[in-house]
């Protein structure tokens, strides 16, 4: 019975679960990559000599990390729809309901959540690079983008990888929350299958195993990336 429910043939939900799993990966990867942008900007702003930039970074990270992830998704989902409807109503006089794309809202909301947490990881990684190296590069007359790409970024990335691994794992699991927007990722797919077949334990257990597979596989990839980034380095010995 269980194998029939999970099959890819008629009456099986294997295809639905597979599509949901692929959607989960698509949202997680896109959100994580998108979140690195505000995360890096907030990290650099927090180290800026300008007080207003430091305050802006603090407001972003404090607000996003202080509000439950599900509430952030709701605010973006309904808030974006309301804003678009207000603009369309004022511009064109259309008063109907406009629903925003669930994938775009999922990436935007989860990405901003991911960025708020990655900001601290990136900030700490940048701070780990000795200031003397940057000062020496500036004394040599190197341009800022060269200093960032050749000195800061390679060394900071090596330090940031373990922390970014944790952010990625959290981002991957946060994708389950966007099922409230109607996007058919793995959690919503399992929920639909459980509702139709009245076998909730089976499908929620399969969803849990899929998440475990994703987290285990991605942890292995990050571990390999850490080894690769640390090649050529030798531990200091007394």
Any domain includes 3: no
Any domain includes 2: no
Q: Does the structure show a pLDDT above 80 at 231?
A: no
In terms of residue numbers, what domain contains 181?
Answer: 20-229
Interatomic CA distance for residues 106 and 179, integer angstroms: 9
Least confident of 24-28, 68-72, 79-83, 218-222: 79-83
The number of folded domains in the chain is 1
What is the pLDDT at residue 237? 44
Q: Does the structure show a pLDDT above 90 at 118?
A: yes
Percent helix, percent strand, percent coil in the chain, to nearest 5: 80, 0, 20
Any domain includes 9: no
pTM score, whole prediction: 0.86
Interatomic CA distance for residues 148 and 181, integer angstroms: 39
Any domain includes 210: yes
| pLDDT, tens digit (0-9, with 9 covering 90-100), for 153-211 | 888 888 899 999 999 999 999 999 988 888 889 999 999 998 888 888 989 999 999 99
87: domain CATH number is 1.10.3720.10
Any domain includes 1: no
Any domain includes 70: yes
Q: What percent of the chain has pLDDT over 70?
A: 94
| pLDDT, tens digit (0-9, with 9 covering 90-100), for 81-104 | 777 777 777 777 766 666 678 888
Least confident of 30-44, 94-108, 117-131: 94-108
């Amino acid at each position: 019975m269980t194998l029939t429910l999970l099959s890819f043939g008629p009456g099986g939900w294997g295809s639905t679960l597979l599509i949901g799993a692929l959607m989960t990966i698509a949202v997680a990867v896109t959100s994580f990559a998108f979140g690195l942008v505000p995360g890096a900007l907030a990290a650099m702003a927090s180290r800026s000599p300008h007080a207003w930039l430091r305050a802006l970074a603090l407001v972003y990270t404090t607000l996003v990390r202080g509000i439950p992830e599900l509430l952030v998704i709701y605010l973006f989902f309904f808030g974006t729809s309301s804003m678009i409807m207000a603009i369309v109503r004022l511009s064109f006089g259309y008063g109907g309901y406009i629903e925003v794309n669930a994938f775009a809202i999922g990436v935007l909301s989860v990405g901003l959540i991911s960025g708020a947490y990655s900001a601290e990881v990136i900030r700490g990684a940048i701070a780990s690079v000795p200031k003397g190296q940057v000062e020496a590069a500036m004394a040599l007359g190197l341009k800022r983008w060269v200093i960032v790409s050749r000195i800061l970024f390679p060394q900071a990335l090596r330090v940031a990888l373990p922390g970014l691994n944790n952010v990625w794992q959290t981002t991957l699991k946060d994708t389950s929350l966007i099922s409230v927007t109607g996007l058919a990722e793995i959690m919503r797919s399992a929920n639909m299958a459980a509702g139709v077949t009245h076998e909730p334990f089976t499908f929620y257990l399969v969803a849990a195993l899929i998440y475990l597979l994703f987290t285990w596989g991605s942890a292995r990839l990050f571990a390999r990336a850490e080894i690769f980034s640390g090649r050529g380095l030798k531990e200091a010995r007394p």
